Structure 1
Amino acid sequence: MTEKKTEPMTVLKQLNVLYVEDDPETRQELAIYLKRRVGRLRLASNGTEALRFLGERPPHLIITDLKMPEMDGLTMIKRLREKGWEMPVIVTSALSDSETIIEAVGVGIVRYVVKPIELEELLEQMNQVAQEIIKKEKCLVVLGEQCLETADELAEMEIKIKKEVTHFMKTTTGKGPRDLHVSLTAGRIEIRARGCLTRLEEGILVNRRHYSLVDYHRRLFYTENQQTLTTCLSQVTGCPVKLREVVCDSRKDQEKLVLEIP
């Protein structure tokens, strides 16, 4: 029996979201957009109704308007903080509410989106918040909008990175590494390689001298070709990648690369 391969879940698909908005048209319009992108969506028309939902099942994230009848957004945020709920809050509000927004920052909102809501901007804000939530709650590796949920998914991504780095070395130097290990953690890719020296570099070291020269040459190689390397890895991981550290030890024919995932 072969297991059917499934696509990794996006970060937002793992979240329960509560959206609080008193205007029915605005609430319905945004709800249609959000339902396709989050794991579970609940709707409330004011702060009082939202607090009742919080008691039933606390969401991971709250998106709320500020000006609403019965209980406004600011009062709602204050109440939920008093009750010990620390879930992040994204406020949607008009520019004229700037003083209220400043006050809301003081009670713990994490983002705000100006009305009329730009959907792409809201989605970007939600993704940033969601990544932090998932990292804290599940200690998973998040790559852009993709979340690696299992050890198998993590291992599969490490294999893809390994193949890409091996191909990069072979095509740019004419020789692939004898051994290469990839470790992918939150915000970081660490690559350790052995047996990377070219025949020319091995010839320079034949008398067991000039190690510093070869080390310098290897570091220079990665510096000059980092754009090619990071572009390839960005395509594999689906998010920006930056080369942060290169350590070369030609005596042992070992190298370490550290790349950052913002």
Structure 2
Amino acid sequence: MKILYVEDETEAREALSKYLKRHAGKIFTAADGLEGLKLFEEQLPDLVIVDLYMPKMDGLEMIREIKKISHEVYVIITTAVDDVDIILRSVDIGINKYLLKPIDPVELMGAIDEYAVILAQKQKTEILFTVEEKKQLEDKIKKEFTSFLKTATGKGPSGVAVFIDNDTIEITAYDALTVMEKNLLDNCQNSIIIEQYRKLFYSANENPICDLIHEIIGSRVKFQQVEVSMENKTNKIELQIVR
């Protein structure tokens, strides 16, 4: 599940976004309604958390524009003002939940978990993990996959990102080329050779990688696709959870 959080107060935005990244997964942040609307158009998140009063474009106006793009998006409004008129207007434009500031992270995570269940039902899929479980598994996969690459190639990546979405696991390794691969790339300037070499590496190690993920999540997985980009310096593996 992708979440967009829009808040003009820098300290509040940074604190809550840090919490959400640890507990809820993929988070995008914006400092005002215009920036939030642009991010929504680019990322099409499943859930939006937005402050009511902001410069340039307030929360209600932003939601009106977002609802023109997607009627399905789940919206949580946050504000320090307990105003009945505002609440009624919020309901009229399709806002699902109203939280008073200061935001209670536990209450917010409860709302996110509730929507995760609704989203899974809409997609007619069984919810495999709670938001908290998903984040813990993503962190563990990140750690173990980094260690696996370092052992298998002699060099660990500069970073690894893991994202679990229903029955799909996406693992992206950044700057994972070995010294030999970098030298080969510098000498022949042929990125296609390195990309093919990397794909062969993942193909040869498909079973060990799947076994590693299986041990972490408790379910079998299989490779869906492998993407290697020399331009972006990324290796991306997409796996499907077998149920």
Q: Provide structure 2 residue ranges, at least 5 long, that are not aligned to the other structure.
A: 135-165, 169-213, 220-243
CA distance in 1, matches of 2:129, 2:19: 23
Does the alignment pair 1:105 with 2:85?
A: no
CA distance in 2, matches of 1:76, 1:149: 32
CA distance in 2, matches of 1:31, 1:141: 24
Structure 1: which amino acid aligns with 2:15? E
Q: Which residue number in structure 1 is paired with residue 11 of structure 2?
A: 25
CA distance in 1, matches of 2:51, 2:37: 14
Structure 1: which amino acid aligns with 2:83? D
Q: 2:44 is paired with a residue of what secondary structure?
A: coil
Larger radius of gyration, structure 1 or 2? 1
Query: Which of 16, 21, 24 is the equivalent residue of 2:2?
Result: 16
Does the alignment pair 1:134 with 2:124?
A: no
Q: Provide structure 1 residue ranges, at least 5 long, that are not aligned to the other structure.
A: 1-14, 158-262
CA distance in 2, matches of 1:28, 1:74: 22
Cα displacement string for residues 136-164 of structure 1 (whole angstroms, at most 9, x for unaligned residues):
125114576668849x9xxx89xxxxxxx
Shift of 1:68: 0.4
Does the alignment pair 1:51 with 2:28?
A: no
Structure 1: which amino acid aligns with 2:84? S
CA distance in 2, matches of 1:84, 1:32: 26
Equivalent runs, 1:15-94 vs 2, <5 Å: 15-94=1-80
CA distance in 1, matches of 2:52, 2:128: 31
Shift of 1:134: 2.1
Equivalent runs, 1:106-255 vs 2, <5 Å: 106-141=92-127, 149=167
CA distance in 2, matches of 1:59, 1:102: 24
Cα distance change of structure 1 residues 38 and 46 upon mapping to structure 2, 3 Å threshold: same
Q: 1:108 is paired with a residue of what secondary structure?
A: coil
Shift of 1:85: 4.3
CA distance in 2, matches of 1:101, 1:53: 25
Cα distance change of structure 1 residues 106 and 142 upon mapping to structure 2, 3 Å threshold: farther
TM-score (norm 1): 0.48
Would you say the 8 A contact 2:77–2:95 is kept in 1? yes
Would you say the 8 A contact 1:20–1:46 is kept in 2? yes
Structure 2: which amino acid aligns with 1:103? R
Shift of 1:135: 2.2
Would you say the 8 A contact 1:131–1:142 is kept in 2? no
Cα displacement string for residues 75-95 of structure 1 (whole angstroms, at most 9, x for unaligned residues):
011111123342100111124
Q: 1:59 is paired with a residue of what secondary structure?
A: coil
Structure 1: which amino acid aligns with 2:20? L
Would you say the 8 A contact 1:135–1:142 is kept in 2? no
Cα displacement string for residues 100-141 of structure 1 (whole angstroms, at most 9, x for unaligned residues):
122011111111111111111111111111211122125114
Q: Which residue number in structure 1 is paired with residue 198 of structure 2?
A: none
Q: CA RMSD in A?
A: 2.5
Aligned length: 140
Structure 2: which amino acid aligns with 1:109? I
